């Protein structure tokens, strides 16, 4: 009996060329396609050996193969729908690109370019020149250089300016950013000695002043990014720290983290000091991320005094931390938007999402809800608070709307997450919700079908 069933299993070669799998076969690479076929056949072979089936048809095997192939053909890194409401979500890829950024990457990566070639002199050039002038124009800095993320920007600066000597930091700013980026450890790695001052909640200028010795190389201020202290708190403003550094002829540095270039308070959000304001306050060197509030590609941007940036450009770590040409191409487009603030807030997806009128989010929620109602899926529009995220403005939330779905929240969370096109929602007061702040108009039809599929399944 078993023997007969084993014999009935189709051969790989036959399936490779069968009509039903023709489309998949064309779409997939040969290796993965034949592996999927083998897995499909094996699935039935194992069932036979365990006496779990008495018979099967070719159609059943082909259906199984299609199911397996549809999983196997997917890349590991894939697009998903962000229903968390967190705009700069570090785990979900932070900032989105614009068509214009992609166009420029396409142009640069499908062709040779003058990445490190000086077209004036016909000799070797520097990849850093493409962005420097533009960044200075936008930020008001004297000079600038760009590396692959802000973590490397900080290491590079600490190494160049603080190596073998002391760097003074307030105890309130010895933060962990996440992903094991901890200021004390980073300082050790960079070769500078940490000199902690003040207390967790209070540090004043006198603390810095008292700690300065012959050994002091750097006064560092770190943005607390992902946490906020309130109550009996005192920190030293960058203006005052810069003045002290100037007086004592000690370099001052600020790790701003997120790098806001637009004064959000003009648009009704909490005041967050901008890169331009920090530079105006007189700090010698600042570093910030490219893909947080700036809304660009992953990058670490270092702006400051000309002679300091020149030193950075000669540091041996620079080569290890250098930015790739695609990110340079994308970042150039982003900084061009910032030449005109109105264009920046109109075009850059991260800024657009933060400043979008909640009415528009409500409209999207309504649109999704209407489709779901037609499909007879129980849903409720609720008002929510969406987070800005990305280790920036930790307390800041903006008004938003979400769709609350019926059913076991944990189960729903899992089903949506494991869907073909994953949907990442969030659980709020024991309910599963999809926050529409981070769901774009164009994603609504797809999202509606996914909800219809998963929520119906739950009912029966
Ligand atoms: C986010 C952040 C970093 C790390 O920046 P990446 O671009 O993610 O490497 C460093 N310092 C601060 C204060 C941050 O907020």
Q: Going by CA atoms, what residue is nearest to atom 5 of ligand 1?
A: 150
Report pLDDT digits (tens) over 263-272.
999 998 988 8
For residue 299, what pLDDT is reported? 98
Decide if pLDDT at 460 tops 50.
Answer: no
Instruction: Name which of 398, 425, 440, 74 is nearest 264 in CA terms.
Output: 398
Angle among Cα 85, 94, 287 to the nearest 5 degrees reads 125
Residue 459 pLDDT > 60: no
Most ligand 1 atoms within 8 A of CB, residue of 94, 153, 170, 257 to mutate: 257
pLDDT, residue 443, reads: 98
Residue 213, pLDDT > 80, answer yes
Give the CATH number of domain 81-90+353-459; options: 3.90.1150.180, 3.40.50.2020, 3.40.640.10, 3.10.180.10. 3.90.1150.180
What is the atom index within ligand 1 of the atom nearest the CA of 300?
A: 7
pLDDT, tens digit, 9 for 90 and up, residues 158-170: 999 999 999 999 9
Name the residue with the closest Cα to ligand 1, atom 2: 257
221 close to ligand 1 (CB < 6 Angstrom): no
Cβ of 269 below 6 Å from ligand 1: no
Pick the atom of ligand 1 nearest to 298's CA. Answer: 7
Using DSSP's 3-state secondary structure scheme, residue 161 falls into helix
pTM of the model as a whole: 0.91
153 CA to centre of ligand 1 in angstroms: 9
Residue nearest to atom 14 of ligand 1 (CA): 257
Proportion of the chain above pLDDT 90, given as a percent: 88
Centroid of ligand 1 to alpha carbon of 176 (angstroms):
10
**Domain 97-345 of CATH type 3.40.50.2000:** no
Report, as an integer, the average pLDDT of 256-279: 92
The least confident of 142-156, 233-247, 310-324, 378-392 is 378-392
Give the mean pLDDT of 314-338: 97
Task: For the beta carbon of residue 139, count every other beta carbon within 10 angstroms.
Answer: 24
257 lines ligand 1 (CB under 6 A): yes
Same fold across 81-90+353-459 and 97-345: no
Mean pLDDT computed over 336-364: 97
Tokens of 53: 């089936």
Residue 95 Cβ inside 6 Å of ligand 1? The answer reads no
- Rounded CA separation 339/325 (Å): 21
Mean pLDDT confidence for 269-281: 93
Cα separation, 21 vs 26, whole angstroms: 9
For 99, list phi and psi in degrees, rounded to 5.
-55, -40
Provide mean pLDDT across the span 16-34.
Answer: 94
- Confidence tier at 392 by pLDDT (50, 70, 90): low
Looking at the DSSP bridge assignments, the partners of residue 404 are 380, 433
pLDDT at 456 > cutoff 70: no
Q: What is the mean pLDDT of the chain?
A: 94
Is the CB of residue 186 below 6 angstroms from any atom belonging to ligand 1? no
Q: Per-domain residue ranges for the chain?
A: 2-72, 81-90+353-459, 97-345
Asked whether residue 226 carries a pLDDT value surpassing 80, the answer given is no
Give the residue with greater pLDDT, 227 vs 411. Answer: 411
Percent of the chain at pLDDT exceeding 70: 98
Local confidence band at 458 (pLDDT 50, 70, 90 cut-offs): very low
Least confident of 70-84, 113-127, 214-228: 214-228
Residue 297 in contact with ligand 1 by CB distance below 6 A: no
Q: What is the mean pLDDT of residues 402-427?
A: 96
Is residue 225 scored above 60 in pLDDT? Answer: yes
The secondary structure of 291-303 as a DSSP string is: SSTT-SSS-EEEE
Q: Measured from the CA of 258, which atom of ligand 1 is nearest?
A: 15
What is the b/e burial string over 149-171, where b = at least 16 CB atoms within 10 angstroms of the residue's CB? bbbbbbbbbbbbbbeebbbbbbe
Q: If you measure from the C-alpha of residue 441 to the centroid of ligand 1, how many angstroms do you get, rounded to a whole number?
A: 30
pLDDT at 179: 72
Q: Angle 150-162/306-313 helices, nearest 10 degrees?
A: 100
Taking CA atoms only, the protein residue closest to ligand 1 atom 1 is: 257
The residue whose CA is least distant from atom 11 of ligand 1 is 257
Instruction: Express each pLDDT in 123-135 by its tens digit.
Output: 999 999 999 999 9
Distance CA 460, CA 452 (A): 13
Residue 243 pLDDT more than 50? Answer: yes
User: Worst-scoring range by mean pLDDT, 175-179, 315-319, 330-334?
Assistant: 175-179
Query: What contacts 26, CB < 8 A, 6 or more positions away?
Result: none
Dump strand ranges (E) for 129-250: 143-147, 166-170, 193-197, 216-222
């Amino acid at each position: 009996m078993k023997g007969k069933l084993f014999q009935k299993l189709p051969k790989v070669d036959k399936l490779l060329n069968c009509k039903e799998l023709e489309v998949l076969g064309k779409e997939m690479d040969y290796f993965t396609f034949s592996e999927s076929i083998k897995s499909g056949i094996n699935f039935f072979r194992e069932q036979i050996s365990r006496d779990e089936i008495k018979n099967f048809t070719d159609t059943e095997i082909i259906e199984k193969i299609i199911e397996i192939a549809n999983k196997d053909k997917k890349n590991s890194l894939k697009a998903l729908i962000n229903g968390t409401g967190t705009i700069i979500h570090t785990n979900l890829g932070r900032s989105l690109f614009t068509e214009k950024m992609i166009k420029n990457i396409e142009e640069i990566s499908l062709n040779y370019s003058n990445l490190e070639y000086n077209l004036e002199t016909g000799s070797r050039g520097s990849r850093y020149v493409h962005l420097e002038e533009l960044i200075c124009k936008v930020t008001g800095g004297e000079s600038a250089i760009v590396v692959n993320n802000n973590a490397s920007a900080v290491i590079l600066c600490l190494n160049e300016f603080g190596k073998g000597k002391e760097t003074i930091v307030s105890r309130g700013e010895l933060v962990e950013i996440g992903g094991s980026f901890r200021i004390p450890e980073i300082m050790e790695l960079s070769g500078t000695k940490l000199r902690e001052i003040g207390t967790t909640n209070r540090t004043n200028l006198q603390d810095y002043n008292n700690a300065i010795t012959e050994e002091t190389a750097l006064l560092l201020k770190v943005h607390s990014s992902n946490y906020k202290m309130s109550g009996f708190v005192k920190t030293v403003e960058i203006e005052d720290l810069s003045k002290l550094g100037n007086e004592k002829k000690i370099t001052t540095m600020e790790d701003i983290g997120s790098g806001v270039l637009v004064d959000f308070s003009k648009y009704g959000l909490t005041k967050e000091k901008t890169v331009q304001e920090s530079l105006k306050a007189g700090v010698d060197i600042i570093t910030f991320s490219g893909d947080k509030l700036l809304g660009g590609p992953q990058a670490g941007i270092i702006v400051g005094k000309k002679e300091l940036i020149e030193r950075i450009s000669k540091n041996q770590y620079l080569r290890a931390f250098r930015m790739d040409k695609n990110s340079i191409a994308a970042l150039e487009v982003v900084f061009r938007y910032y030449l005109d603030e109105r264009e920046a807030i109109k075009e850059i997806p991260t800024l657009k999402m933060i400043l979008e009128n909640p009415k528009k989010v409500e409209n999207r929620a309504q649109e999704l809800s209407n489709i779901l109602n037609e499909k007879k899926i129980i849903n409720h529009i609720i008002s929510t608070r969406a987070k800005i995220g990305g280790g920036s403005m930790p307390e800041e939330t903006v008004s938003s709307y979400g769709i609350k779905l019926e059913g076991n929240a944990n189960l729903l969370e899992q089903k949506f997450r494991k869907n073909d096109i994953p949907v990442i929602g969030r659980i709020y007061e024991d309910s599963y919700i999809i926050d529409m702040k981070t769901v774009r108009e164009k994603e609504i039809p797809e999202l509606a079908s996914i909800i219809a599929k998963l929520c119906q399944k739950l009912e029966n």
